[in-house]
């Protein structure tokens, strides 16, 4: 697995596009695994800080319990079409997957989730195994899917 900073060093252009997609919307979608192995979709927010990708959770939330039991996670940036009549105006979206590991260091917790209202919240650092962006190509003839997988580097695929 790679930290966000390691991913940025290995694939700077793709990392910039992934981050821009995640920064474009406050709310993201997160997939975790329930106790029985079935998927759970939850809303979440993420933060980039200190060379890492972070997410938090209210104490005892189902998504936090899922991650504490099985840290595998996938996050989607969300997306919007600025002009519904022009699909080519879609700016694209991004996805990352990896493992969300709880950080219990009180100093790190207080820096990233400051304030007494967050004292009992969970804080997770997301280490990446993959990152993907999807966008409409310049000619508006299809989709460009750029992906990075740990150990394989960046690959680009065009689909009509």
- More reliable by pLDDT, 86 or 127: 127
Tokens 């709310």 belong to: 27
Give me the domain span that covers residue 79.
Answer: 4-159
What are the residues facing 28 on neighbouring strands? 44
Could you give the CA distance from residue 12 to residue 19 in angstroms, rounded to a whole number? 10
In Å, how far are 1, 93, 119, 138 from 22, measured between CA atoms?
A: 20, 8, 25, 21
- In the chain, the number of structural domains is 1
Do residues 28 and 75 make contact, with C-beta atoms less than 8 angstroms apart?
Answer: yes
pTM of the model: 0.93
- More reliable by pLDDT, 108 or 87: 108
How much is the mean pLDDT over the chain? 94
User: What pLDDT score was predicted for residue 73?
Assistant: 98
CATH code assigned at 43 = 2.30.110.10
User: What pLDDT score was predicted for residue 84?
Assistant: 72
Sign for the CA dihedral angle at 19, 135, 13, 2 comes to positive
């Amino acid at each position: 697995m790679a930290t966000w900073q390691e991913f940025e060093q290995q694939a700077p252009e793709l990392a910039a596009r992934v981050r821009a997609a995640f920064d474009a919307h406050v709310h993201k979608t997160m997939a975790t695994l329930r106790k029985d192995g079935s998927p759970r979709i939850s809303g979440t927010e993420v933060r980039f800080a200190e060379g890492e990708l972070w997410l938090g959770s209210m104490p005892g939330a189902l998504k936090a319990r899922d991650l504490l039991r099985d840290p595998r996670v996938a996050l989607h940036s969300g997306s919007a079409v600025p002009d519904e009549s022009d699909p080519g105006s879609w700016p694209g979206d991004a996805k990352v997957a990896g493992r969300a590991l709880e950080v219990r260091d009180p100093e790190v917790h207080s820096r990233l989730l400051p304030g007494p209202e967050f004292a009992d919240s969970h804080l997770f650092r997301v280490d990446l195994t993959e990152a993907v962006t999807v966008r409409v190509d310049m000619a508006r003839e299809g989709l460009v899917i750029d992906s990075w997988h740990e150990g394989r580097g960046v690959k680009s695929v065009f689909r009509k």
